[in-house]
Amino acid sequence: MRRREEWAKRLMDLSLAGVGLLVTAPVIAVAWIVATLETGENGFFLQERVGKDGRLFRVVKIRTMREIPGHNSSVTTATDRRITRSGRFFRRYKIDELPQLFNVLKGEMSFVGPRPDVPGFADRLEGEARRLLTLRPGITGPATLKYRNEEELLAKQNDPERFNREVIWPDKVRINLEYMEHWSLKKDLKILWRTFTGGHDA
Reply yes or no on whether the pLDDT at 28 is more than 90. yes
User: Which pLDDT belongs to residue 80?
Assistant: 85
Residue 102 lies in a domain: yes
Q: What is the average pLDDT value for the chain, to the nearest integer?
A: 92
DSSP character string of 83-114? B-HHHHHHHHTTGGGTTHHHHHHHTS-EEESS
Measured in whole angstroms, the distance separating CA 170 from the mean position of its chain's CA atoms is 17
- Mean pLDDT for the stretch of residues 70-86: 81
Residue 43 lies in a domain: yes
User: Which pLDDT belongs to residue 201?
Assistant: 44
Reply yes or no on whether the pLDDT at 81 is more than 80. yes
Q: Of all residues in the chain, what percent carry a pLDDT higher than 70?
A: 96
Reply yes or no on whether the pLDDT at 61 is more than 90. yes
User: Which pLDDT belongs to residue 72?
Assistant: 65
Residue 36 lies in a domain: yes
Phi, psi angle pair for 35, to nearest 5°: -65, -40
74 or 5, higher pLDDT:
5
- Mean pLDDT for the stretch of residues 99-120: 95
Residue 51: closest CA among 126, 107, 128, 112 = 107
Residue 96 lies in a domain: yes
Residue 202 lies in a domain: no
Reply yes or no on whether the pLDDT at 78 is more than 60. yes
pLDDT band at 125 (very low <50, low <70, confident <90, very high): confident
Reply yes or no on whether the pLDDT at 68 is more than 90. no
The SS3 of residue 162 is helix
User: Which pLDDT belongs to residue 114?
Assistant: 95
**Whole-structure pTM value:** 0.88
Residue 112 lies in a domain: yes
> What's the total number of domains in the chain?
1
Reply yes or no on whether the pLDDT at 56 is more than 90. yes
Residues of the domain holding 65: 3-197
- Mean pLDDT for the stretch of residues 161-190: 94
- Mean pLDDT for the stretch of residues 171-188: 95
User: Which pLDDT belongs to residue 17?
Assistant: 97
Reply yes or no on whether the pLDDT at 73 is more than 50. yes
Using alpha carbons only, give the angle 154, 61, 185 rounded to the nearest 5 degrees. 85
Residue 154 lies in a domain: yes
Residues 56 and 119 sit within 8 Å (Cβ to Cβ):
yes
Taking each helix axis as running N to C, give the angle between helix 185-197 and helix 3-39, from 0 to 180 degrees, rounded to the nearest 10: 20
Residues 64 and 87 sit within 8 Å (Cβ to Cβ):
yes
Residues 79 and 106 sit within 8 Å (Cβ to Cβ):
no
Residue 151 lies in a domain: yes
